[in-house]
């Protein structure tokens, strides 16, 4: 059995291999423990003089290899090119995309550093799995050092349309680096289609059938791997939340038992939070009967707080929430509860289960696992309704949700009202259809499918 090497931007060392924090980290740790291997990436620390060698910590069969960044590298690689150029670009926000040659050079430099520190840790029969937009050039850097082991890359974000991507001055260099991998995985058919459009019409490559392309002198396999959740774990968390009397049981409910609408997102402009607040305002305007009867609980912990655009979105949301609450609130009712803090996975499961509507309305999202978690946490005997943006990758699987355009405030408001009035039979039918898909495509399924296909590399035509 080949050893597995995972590379990701951030690595959190697991001090207890039995800890079930949930999410991607658990899925990758399970695979690493099964195969044995290395998890490599940034420690999350900024140091005046980073060590020339990675810090190694072994837990069970896994070696966690972490490196610190200098302040300059952090500013250019992470805050700069990754989060002020690539992140807005792949989320179709050219208006927020900052192009800087200095930041791009810093991004390449950090990937070169990472490759030089990862390379000595590799063994001849390793499978190498690299994650996300921060590390696109890592594979090419490793190839330049003679690495011939199978290497796969999974993009967690959307892949932008060719017309968007070509606005990036370094687009060809970046896509060429991406094609140094043997296997490239995308979340949805839309992402794959956008990538192939670029390969054929911009890069001069060819689609060879059987998920293979020839471009830049290489044969590369491309596949769709929609990421899932640990469905059984979230179902169990939803059940435990009621049995244990978690926080959501203490939410004030007024005249109705379930009048909460919930949104859970990182504080990010791609999540459509300003538009969500305005859609909720439209609900109160168009359907005044819901005033004093429904509340929006929006949980939005801060992220990337050093990036100016994230400071701005926080100020905008605070202003929107204040405006709506000032206009509609009564002495015993506040329409929006806006919380800039994190909650445990268990508490979130409780909030999901106790909310009539799950409101997931990103303007663009690779997948959006909150949508899947909301569905999995529901009470089968009284499930809530998912209102889901058509621009979330999850909409391709969870098509039994109420699918909306987040830019259309009236449509979102009407969908919320429809969900609040929906009969049990309709709610249950939709919930069952979505749960079947969640059980068929779990986080483990996603991981195992990727590694199975990566293990077949190199690919031949």
Report, as residue numbers or ranges, the catalytic residues.
Answer: 156, 365
Encoded tokens for 289: 């009967």
172-176 contact pairs (CB < 8 A, 24+): 172/202, 172/203, 174/136, 174/137, 175/199, 175/202, 175/203, 176/140, 176/203, 176/216
Residue 225 to residues 185, 186, 192, 353, 451: CA-CA distances in angstroms? 6, 6, 10, 28, 11
Spell out the residues 6+ positions from residue 78 whose beta carbon is closer than 8 angstroms to its own: 9, 42, 69, 134
Distance CA 113, CA 104 (A): 14
What is the bridge-based pairing of β-strands 212-215 and 295-299? unpaired
For residue 428, the surrounding DSSP H or E stretch is: helix 424-440
Q: Please count the residues of the chain.
A: 461
CB-CB contact of 100 with 86 (8 Å): no
The single-letter DSSP state of residue 258 is: -
Q: Which residues pair with 224 in a beta bridge?
A: 186
CB-CB contact of 83 with 103 (8 Å): no
CB-CB contact of 95 with 68 (8 Å): no
CB-CB contact of 186 with 223 (8 Å): yes
Spell out the residues 6+ positions from residue 260 whose beta carbon is closer than 8 angstroms to its own: 251, 253, 294, 295, 296, 297, 351, 354, 355, 356, 357
Give residue 229's region: left, alpha or beta (phi > 0; psi -120 to 50).
beta
For residue 183, the surrounding DSSP H or E stretch is: strand 183-186
């Amino acid at each position: 059995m080949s050893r597995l090497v995972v590379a990701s931007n951030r690595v959190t060392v697991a001090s207890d291999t039995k800890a079930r924090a949930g999410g991607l980290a658990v899925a990758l740790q399970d695979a690493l423990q099964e195969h044995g291997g290395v998890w490599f990436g940034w420690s999350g620390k900024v140091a005046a003089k980073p060590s020339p060698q990675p810090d190694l910590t072994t837990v069970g069969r896994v070696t966690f290899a972490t490196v610190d960044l200098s302040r300059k590298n952090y500013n250019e690689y992470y805050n700069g090119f990754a989060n002020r150029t690539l992140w807005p670009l792949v989320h179709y926000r050219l208006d927020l995309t900052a192009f800087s040659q200095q930041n791009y050079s810093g991004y390449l430099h950090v990937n070169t550093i990472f490759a030089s520190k990862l390379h000595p840790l590799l063994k001849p029969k390793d499978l190498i799995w690299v994650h996300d937009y921060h590390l696109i050039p890592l594979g090419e850097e490793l190839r330049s050092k003679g690495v011939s082991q199978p290497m796969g890359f999974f993009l967690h974000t959307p892949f932008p349309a060719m017309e968007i991507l070509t606005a990036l001055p370094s687009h060809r260099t970046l896509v060429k680096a991406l094609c140094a991998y043997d296997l490239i995985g995308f979340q949805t058919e839309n992402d794959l289609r956008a990538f192939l459009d670029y390969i054929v019409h911009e890069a001069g490559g060819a689609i060879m059938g059987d998920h293979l392309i020839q471009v830049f002198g290489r044969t590369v396999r491309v596949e769709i791997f929609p990421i899932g959740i640990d469905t059984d774990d979230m179902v169990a968390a939803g059940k435990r939340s009621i049995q244990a009397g978690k926080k959501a049981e203490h939410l004030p409910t007024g005249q109705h038992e379930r009048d909460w609408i919930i949104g859970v997102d990182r504080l990010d402009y791609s999540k459509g939070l300003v538009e969500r607040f305005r859609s909720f305002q439209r609900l109160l305007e168009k359907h005044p009967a819901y005033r004093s009867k429904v509340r929006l609980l929006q949980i939005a912990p801060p992220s990337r707080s050093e990036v100016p655009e994230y400071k701005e979105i926080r100020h905008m949301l605070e202003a929107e929430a204040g405006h709506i609450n000032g206009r509609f609130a009564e002495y015993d009712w506040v329409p929006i509860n806006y919380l800039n803090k994190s909650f445990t996975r268990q508490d979130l499961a409780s909030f999901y289960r106790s909310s009539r509507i799950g409101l997931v309305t990103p303007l663009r999202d690779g997948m959006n696992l909150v949508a899947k978690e909301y569905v999995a946490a529901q009470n089968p005997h009284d499930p809530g309704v998912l209102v889901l943006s058509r621009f979330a990758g999850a909409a391709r699987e969870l098509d039994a949700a109420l699918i909306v355009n987040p830019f259309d405030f009236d449509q979102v408001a009407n969908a919320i009202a429809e969900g609040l009035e929906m009969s049990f039979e309709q709610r249950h039918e939709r919930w069952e259809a979505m749960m079947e898909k969640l059980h068929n495509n779990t986080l483990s399924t996603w991981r195992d499918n990727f590694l199975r296909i990566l293990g077949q590399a190199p690919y031949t035509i």
